[in-house]
Amino acid sequence: MAIGPVEYIIVGFPGNHFNGEIAPELAKLVESGTIRVLDLLFVTKDADGNVAVIEFEDHADVALFNALDGEVGGLISDQDIEYAAADLEPNSSAAILMWEDVWATPFVEALRASGAVLVEGARIPHDLIEAAEAELAAAG
């Protein structure tokens, strides 16, 4: 089975302020075939610094994620969880999301078939692109 590029993000929720707006948008990406969610975990840190992991299907606050299609889970390791928890402030939480970019699978297959080797890849932060576009617009 061909697989597209796999990405992950760790998204923090200071003060545990999670309103659930993410779930419907994530579901749209899955339903459209743009991505396939591979794993999703929530990590919390209480006031005393104790860390807990919550599987999305095991907690009412994240029940909206139950609508995601497919088998999800098992790829995020204990080391990944420790890494995400290390920078969490007390009384905060984070979501760790891993997904496959299904939309890119044909392109990746073509790269592999041509013998191409990935040399480097990175995600450019939104604020940097926004500033660069504003600078270009001002210069033009």
Please report the pLDDT score of residue 19 as a whole number.
Answer: 78
Please report the pLDDT score of residue 82 as a whole number.
Answer: 93
Q: How far is CA 115 from CA 46, 101, 112, in A?
A: 49, 20, 5
Residue 67 lies in a domain: yes
Please return the burial class of 60, using the count of CB atoms within 10 Å of its CB with bins 0-12, 13-18 and 19+. Answer: exposed
Residue 97 lies in a domain: yes
Looking at the structure of the chain, the number of domains it has is 1
- Look at the alpha carbons of 7, 94, 57, 75 in this order and tell me if their dihedral is positive or negative: positive
Any residues with CB less than 8 A from the CB of 53 and at least 6 apart, and which? Answer: 41, 42, 43, 81
CB atoms within 10 A of CB 85: 20
Q: Is a pLDDT exceeding 70 seen at residue 134?
A: yes
Q: Which residue has the higher pLDDT, 96 or 70?
A: 96
Domain carrying residue 46: 6-103
Mean of pLDDT values over 125-138: 93
Residue 17 lies in a domain: yes
- In 3D space, the residue among 29, 39, 55 whose CA is nearest the CA of residue 6 turns out to be 39
Residue 58 lies in a domain: yes
Residue 117 lies in a domain: no
The answer to whether 6 and 102 are in contact (CB under 8 A) is no
Tokens matching residue 136:
């270009």
Mean of pLDDT values over 72-84: 89
pTM of the model: 0.81
